[in-house]
Structure 1
Amino acid sequence: MTPAELALLLARAQFAFTISFHFIFPAFSIGLASFLAVLEARWLLSGDDKYLDLFRYWLRIFSVAFAMGVVSGIVMSYQFGTNWAVFSDRAGPIIGPLMAYEVLTAFFLEAGFLGVMLFGLERVGRKLHFIATLMVALGTFISAFWIISVNSWMQTPVAWTTNAVGQFVKSGGWWDVIWNPSFPYRLVHTVTAAYLTTALAVGGVAAFHLIRRHDTPQVRTAFSMAMWMVALVAPFQLLAGDAHGINTLQHQPIKVMAMEGHFTSHPHGAPLYLFGIPDQEHQTLRYAIGIPKLGSLILEHSLDAPVKGLDQYPRDEQPPVAIVFWSFRIMVGLGLAMIALGLWGLFARARGALYSPGWLHRAAVALGPAGFVAVIAGWVTTEVGRQPWTIYGVLRTREAVSAIGAPGVAGSLIAFVAVYTAVFGFGIWYILKMMSRPPHPGETALAPAPTRTAGITPAPARATAADASTETGEAG
């Protein structure tokens, strides 16, 4: 390995480490912001304070997760100027405006209303506070919209040309750049994954407390709402993933061949490989276990449809097959487990045993972090499967890296690992510590209620008595 190749490998490892650490927080905060909006809406409509208790409980967790997402995200922009300066220079005329739109819309929206959402419930009145919560939830979605648009353009670049100095500039309207061919599929798949990740985390925390006999209306409500979300969203995510896969087959067939382990073409129907050990050097899948023709049915919706293999493409355009092959199976395997959990929850609900101690609660706890793992596995599949391109089919990764030495990249990578482990390790530990305490009646706000000043009186909280029969029959 040459020094330049080592520097490229370290730069890729650094970006992979920082973005993997970063994305677990937005994946959580996107879904959690919407969950908080639902909780506050149900409190306002029903007057039942258990929803307010849950809102305040998860608001604390959201505040920490959101803060860590913002801090870890700042690092990403600096890497564009250090390790990936060539990419920034060449793609800046297209990527830069889209990132600026994210700041001008999502970031300003979140920054303007986040303080009201976190500290204003007892200060600004219920309706205005609910509007602030909705704006923060909308801001997280808009942020995802722009970031996914940028990434999707890099995956399926359209409406571009090059100027006199080799920079990529738009050749059509911005609408074509933003709504590039893969963007709608990636947006739906990513946002749905965020909602599913949050539902599993909320359900896992609630199930943990049910196992520990903290059987309160707040815990039951959280578990019920989470199980409804998993039951509804997990099957939808399977359909969204299938549509995304078909779109990827159309625009990035090499990635799909790596995901499926198809080193050789199948002119009369491809199997669906469940297991195997990719051997890229010899272009074969060793110890393959597959179901005949099912791969063609999934990819082409026909049992006998021909499917190309990696043998149809040059070796230097193939991604690292083993990484893509296994990360894809981790994502799909966890997705199927989520669907099974949702169906199990529906069955238990129909039998009136949703809150009864048993294996359902243990399974919910076990799958609590599954959404985060699946999200990272999905991004590994997407980004590693795009290699050797930074902008697919246009700019190779080795051409996008800065002219930097391996020792400098190695030093910054070690620093990132040390700092991230310490800072965000503590943050994750603190979130888990907050989750270890069950939500209880009378959850307090993040800030104490203000004293009466200048004729402004805090909005009184609506008091409701907990009815045991309603608690038992809570359906979420």
Structure 2
Amino acid sequence: FEFGTNWAAYSRYVGDVFGSALAAEGIFAFFLESGFLGILVFGWDRVSRPVHWFASLMVFLGSVFSSVWIVVANSWMQTPAGFHVVDGPRGPRAEIVDFWAMVFNPSSVERLWHVLSGSLILGGAFVCSVSGWYLWRRRHDWFSEQSLKIGLVVLTLGSWSALFSGHEAGSVIAEHQPAKLAAFEGHFHTEPAPLWLFGLPDLEGEGVRFGIAVPGGLSLLVHGDPTRPMQGLNETPREDWPNVGLVFQSYHAMLTIGVFFLALTSLGNVLWLRGALGATRWLHPVWVAAVVPAYLGNQLGWLSAEVGRQPWIVHGLLRTDQALSEAVTAELVATSIVLFGLVYLLLLAVWWWVLNAKIQHGPDAPGGPSNGGAIDAAAGGRLAGDH
């Protein structure tokens, strides 16, 4: 909807390429999710357990397919491939010449891996958060400890997967979007690049102040050689720089959150091996709060990726200020943002109310209206007396 209203020039230029990925997302993902979502939500007591499990699997696969095509489309904007530019009646536009080259563009696989890793982190952190809440309030102790273990497994896999996928994605950025990586690390001059732990980029002085860095750390991570020079922002025209301060801070905040989850999951697994995972009460509020940095980490990652490629909407081909709809005024855009914002605030309030009611209600005892879950079945009669 918004492509056609606010980004008409963009739609004309890359509609043949971008539309293919979005059409695939609609065919392979949207219909799969929508077709089985009703069974998943309302069919617990109306269909057999195998059918309900199958519906759950289809919704999960639909969500994964959706992420695949959305990331493919976005990755093409970062590292375009499989196209050529032709002159049309309303100006030049991109056309696909190799569909699979477009799908497997230089950054799509690594970025999809990283996005799915972030999803595992958020999903695992959410389960750990609810489980930690029950343990902290001394409710459903046995159930909560089992679900905490499941969440911890997913969170651990996601955290380590994000580490390795982030490294691979960074190597791709270094090759295809060196100005973005230079902005991530506040690297202004082509020379061996340090790895900044934190700091404050100084655009006038072309350096980083008030920070601590590992000398040659970035060169070592990207090229395996701490003495190898890396392209600095000075080789990119200043009008093509992204917002260095914002990108630097959002990127490093994301990294900090990633390190936090590596530490938290390592501690959690040690306590699990010692049989003290559920009994460590000081950690319960940490589990409860873990969903917040998990959500922020995902948002900060997207913020870094999208602001970092500015001023390009399609890297090297189309600038963001060239992609706008000329007929749409700033007032109309502001009005639509406000209206959409109000609608989504209402949906957020409803979601929050429903989710809170579900959490406060807690798991149903075996034999209750929601009997049939895997943990319920494993619990047997134990859950009925769980408080």
Q: TM-score, normalised by structure 1?
A: 0.75
Q: Does the 8 Å CA contact 1:149/1:179 hold for their aligned counterparts?
A: yes
Aligned residue in 1 for 2:102: 177
Contact 1:218–1:441 (CA under 8 A) maintained in structure 2 = no
CA–CA distance in structure 2, aligned partners of residues 336 and 436 of structure 1: 31
Q: What residue in structure 1 maps to residue 356 of structure 2?
A: 432
* Structure 2 Cα separation of the partners of residues 370 and 462 of structure 1: 32
How far is 1:280 from its partner? 2.7
Contact persistence 1:89–1:167 (CA under 8 A)? yes
The answer to whether the aligner puts 1:384 opposite 2:307 as a matched pair is yes
CA–CA separation in structure 1 for the residues paired with 2:377 and 2:82:
55
Partner of 1:154: 77
Specify the code of the residue in structure 2 equivalent to 1:249.
Answer: A
State yes or no: 1:408 paired with 2:332.
Answer: yes
In structure 1, what is the Cα distance between the partners aligned to 2:204 and 2:229? 24
**Is residue 220–residue 355 contact of structure 1 (8 Å, CA) maintained in 2?**
yes
Partner of 1:248: 173
Q: 1:281 to 1:86 in 2, by over 3 A?
A: farther
Map residues 128-167 of structure 1 onto 2, 5 A cutoff: 128-165=51-88, 166-167=92-93
Match of 1:168 in 2: 94
- Alpha carbons of structure 1 residues 429 and 279: separation in structure 2 relative to 1, 3 Å: farther
| 8 Å contact kept, 1:327–1:377 | yes
Instruction: Give the secondary-structure state (helix, strand or coil) at the position aligned to 1:274.
Output: strand
Contact 2:202 2:208 in 1 (8 A): yes
Task: Verify: 1:280 aligned to 2:209, yes or no.
Answer: no
Displacement of 1:273: 1.3
The CA deviation at 1:281 is 4.5
Partner Cα separation in structure 1 for residue 78 and residue 166 of structure 2? 16
RMSD of Structure 2 on Structure 1 (CA): 2.2
| One-letter identity of the residue aligned with 1:259 | F
Q: Which amino acid aligns with 2:133?
A: F
Tell me which residue corresponds to 1:465.
Answer: 380
Deviation at 1:259, TM superposition (A): 0.5
Question: Out of 225, 246, 252, which is 2:150 matched to?
Answer: 225
Deviation at 1:467, TM superposition (A): 5.2
Alpha-carbon distance in structure 1 between the residues aligned to 2:353 and 2:215 = 46
What is the Cα deviation at residue 465 of structure 1? 3.0
Name which of structure 1's ranges 246-255 and 228-237 shifts more when overlaid on structure 2.
228-237
Select 1:322's aligned residue among 226, 240, 245. Answer: 245
Query: Is the contact between residue 110 and residue 140 of structure 1 (CA under 8 Å) also seen in structure 2?
Result: yes
**Which amino acid in the other structure matches residue 202 of structure 2?**
D
Given the alignment of the two structures, is residue 420 of structure 1 paired with residue 344 of structure 2, yes or no?
Answer: yes
Question: Counterparts of 2:141 and 2:42 in 1: how far apart (Å)?
Answer: 26
When residues 341 and 179 of structure 1 are mapped into structure 2, their CA distance, relative to the original with a 3 A threshold, is same
**Against the structure 1 CA distance between its residues 426 and 282, is the aligned structure 2 distance closer, same or farther, given a 3 Å change threshold?**
farther
CA contact (8 A) 1:335 1:374 kept: yes
Q: Which amino acid aligns with 1:193?
A: G
Match of 1:206 among 127, 131, 137: 131
Q: What is the Cα deviation at residue 417 of structure 1?
A: 2.8
Identical aligned pairs, as a percentage?
Answer: 35
Shift of 1:445: 4.0
Please, which of 106, 116, 122 is the counterpart of residue 191 of structure 1?
116
Flag the structure with more relative contact order, 1 or 2, with Cα contacts below 8 A and sequence separation at least 6: 1
Indicate the residue corresponding to 1:216 in structure 2: 141
Q: Does 1:375 align with 2:298?
A: yes
Match of 2:38 in 1: 115
**One-letter amino acid matched to 1:244:** A
Alignment deviations for residues 269-299 of structure 1 (CA, whole Å, 9 cap, x no partner)? 3211122212335533222321212222122
Distance 1:289 1:375 in 2: 25
SS in 2 for 1:325: helix
Partner of 1:81 in structure 2?
4
- Where 2:21 maps in the other structure, the secondary structure is helix
State how far apart, in whole Å, the 2-side matches of 1:465 and 1:273 are.
Answer: 52
Residue 218 of structure 2, aligned match among 295, 300, 307: 295
**Contact 2:123 2:155 (C-alpha < 8 Å) held by counterparts:** no
Helix, strand or coil: the match of 2:230?
coil
Letter in 2 for 1:331: M
Q: 1:429 Cα shift?
A: 4.2
Question: Structure 1 220/260 Cα, relative in aligned 2: closer, same or farther at 3 Å?
Answer: same
1:334 aligns with 2:257: yes
The count of residues paired between Structure 1 and Structure 2 equals 376
